[in-house]
A and B are shown apart, each in its own frame.
Chain A
């Protein structure tokens, strides 16, 4: 039903989409009523997803050391702001101003809402929802992708070069790959690639960009010893990290539920409700599976793994939160939780320093969730899913690597050793997150 995020708008003509969505057995909903409910769904789900920016900010604040907390807060609010401006400046039209089956959208600047049909004397509500409600809903998704990057490269990336990367990611990289699927471009048209709410388009995209950043910027000083040992750098606040994950979990109901893209019929209301349930059980299974896996592997329950497990479960169900039965959603989420616990030490073995575990939770689970779609949704094929994962993975990795490399050789992307030692809060901001607190259990 939901091949492209803009399925409704792409098939604008003569109330076709609403007719498709409503079950024939149900009473007809007036087109203006449907328009209002669809718009309401975009707006409400959109502000839930907007608040995920707060979730990422708190999760990352808790997972970095206290000398870098203020900097990670600056990066999080700045990246949300920049993503929103870039999506207005160029991103939205680049993503959705694409021909069906196309490879690249329109480079027109300064998007503005066109609701003339709905506002006309003979009002036509076949657009399905107000233009700005759709813009707002899509904008908060691009911000989510950017949030993923900041956590991985935290504690050593310089502020302004990071924000330049975010600007390019949200203005160019994310919209182009998104257009291939949600803009009804070639992945959607030729391969029937299916990614309901963005396991690949949002989460893996953020994950690939983060991975390239981690590789090009390098690990935090002292994270890995010369003989290959891992030197853990415990985060500053486990309660904040936990709060962040709860906020993300809440926001995810908007992320997946809103991606139904409609609330104008009973069928849509039922679909969104089922999505809520599947989203919740996948996250729950991710937590429990991650706790069990960490108990078995490390002989201890690791809170940060349980937190990553929630996100791993959520990312895993995001590619197809509607089709699975509740039991299938539990399994999809549980696999995500285990993948996280396996991937975290694996990245450490490879000396890829991911401060918050964004690569395991968003990239690894994003790939898993996308691959799992055909298990429950017969409209998708494993071949099509693999093409999508590889095409988007290559495109985002190559373009991200180019941007990170350009930043590295021009302005420099990494803080100096002294600044890293001192903490970016004092080095870059000249302030501290917790000026009245002691140093806690970590000397030096």
Chain B
């Protein structure tokens, strides 16, 4: 199993969710996060004085899927979340040791 974790532009969340759903991926966790990468922050102005906003709002999504799905999921996220502009985000794939559905006690692939 793999954990696919992606940090994306917030307005792309719906497109990413639809792309993953069309691959048959049924679960997704989304978190509002802040951070910066190459895009850095930007400046805003308030009452005549400029200030830097270093941390930009992003959405982090997390899905755990069977390992053989990982490549397609990553590609689907990239397609859906990409704008070609700086600040589109990043995707990480991490090995997952175990999984369990709390209600039934099913484990690993059955739990996804």
Alpha-carbon gap, A443 to B50, bound state (A): 17
Measured CB to CB, the nearest residue on chain B to A230 is: B49
Segment with Cβ contacts to B, from A152-160, A263-271, A294-302: A294-302
Alpha-carbon gap, A232 to B53, bound state (A): 11
CB neighbours (8 Å) of A297 from chain B are 48
Alpha-carbon gap, A302 to B50, bound state (A): 12
A230 to chain B, nearest CB (A): 4
A243 to chain B, nearest CB (A): 19
Contact with B along A328-344 (1 / 0, CB 8 A): 00000000000001001
Q: Is B47's CB under 8 angstroms from A232's CB?
A: yes
Question: Is residue B46 within 8 Å, beta carbon to beta carbon, of the partner chain?
Answer: yes
Alpha-carbon gap, A25 to B50, bound state (A): 60
B7 to chain A, nearest CB (A): 17
B52 to chain A, nearest CB (A): 10
Q: Is B48's CB under 8 angstroms from A345's CB?
A: yes
Question: Is residue A234 within 8 Å, beta carbon to beta carbon, of the partner chain?
Answer: yes
Q: Is B57's CB under 8 angstroms from A302's CB?
A: no
Known A-B contacts A441-B53, A441-B57, A443-B55; the reply to A298 vs B34 at CB < 8 A is no
Q: Is A298's CB under 8 angstroms from B53's CB?
A: no
Question: Is residue B11 within 8 Å, beta carbon to beta carbon, of the partner chain?
Answer: no
Alpha-carbon gap, A418 to B69, bound state (A): 52
Q: Is B55's CB under 8 angstroms from A294's CB?
A: no
A contact residues, total (Cβ < 8 Å): 19
Q: Is A302's CB under 8 angstroms from B53's CB?
A: no
Contact with A along B27-53 (1 / 0, CB 8 A): 000000010000000001111111101
Q: Is B51's CB under 8 angstroms from A302's CB?
A: no
CB neighbours (8 Å) of A234 from chain B are 44, 46
Question: Is residue A370 within 8 Å, beta carbon to beta carbon, of the partner chain?
Answer: no
Q: Is B34's CB under 8 angstroms from A443's CB?
A: yes
B37 to chain A, nearest CB (A): 17
Interchain CB contact (< 8 A) of A304 among B34, B46, B50, B57: B46
Question: Is residue A231 within 8 Å, beta carbon to beta carbon, of the partner chain?
Answer: yes
Interchain CB contact (< 8 A) of A344 among B45, B47, B55: B47
Within 8 A of A (CB), among B42-83: 44-51, 53, 55, 57
Contact with B along A396-429 (1 / 0, CB 8 A): 0000000000000000000000000000000000
Q: Is A345's CB under 8 angstroms from B53's CB?
A: no
A223 to chain B, nearest CB (A): 10
CB neighbours (8 Å) of A357 from chain B are 47
Interchain CB contact (< 8 A) of B45 among A231, A300, A348, A441: A300
Measured CB to CB, the nearest residue on chain B to A342 is: B48
B44 to chain A, nearest CB (A): 8
Question: Is residue A197 within 8 Å, beta carbon to beta carbon, of the partner chain?
Answer: no
Measured CB to CB, the nearest residue on chain B to A229 is: B49
Measured CB to CB, the nearest residue on chain A to B54 is: A443
Question: Is residue A305 within 8 Å, beta carbon to beta carbon, of the partner chain?
Answer: yes
CB neighbours (8 Å) of B45 from chain A are 232, 298, 300, 302
Q: Is B49's CB under 8 angstroms from A345's CB?
A: yes
Q: Is A294's CB under 8 angstroms from B46's CB?
A: no
Q: Is B34's CB under 8 angstroms from A302's CB?
A: no
Measured CB to CB, the nearest residue on chain A to B56 is: A441
B46 to chain A, nearest CB (A): 4
A302 to chain B, nearest CB (A): 6
Alpha-carbon gap, A345 to B47, bound state (A): 8
Alpha-carbon gap, A348 to B44, bound state (A): 17
B29 to chain A, nearest CB (A): 18
Q: Is A344's CB under 8 angstroms from B34's CB?
A: no
User: A304-B47, A357-B47, A443-B34 are known contacts; what are 16 more A-B pairs with Cβ within 8 Å?
Assistant: A230-B49, A231-B49, A231-B51, A232-B50, A232-B51, A233-B46, A234-B44, A294-B48, A297-B48, A298-B45, A302-B45, A302-B48, A341-B48, A344-B47, A348-B47, A441-B53
A-B contacts, 16 listed (Cβ < 8 Å): A230-B49, A231-B51, A232-B45, A232-B47, A232-B50, A232-B51, A298-B48, A300-B45, A305-B47, A305-B48, A345-B47, A345-B48, A348-B49, A357-B47, A441-B57, A443-B55
Residues of chain B touching chain A, judged by Cβ–Cβ distance below 8 Å, are 34, 44-51, 53, 55, 57
Residues of chain A touching chain B, judged by Cβ–Cβ distance below 8 Å, are 230-234, 294, 297-298, 300, 302, 304-305, 341, 344-345, 348, 357, 441, 443
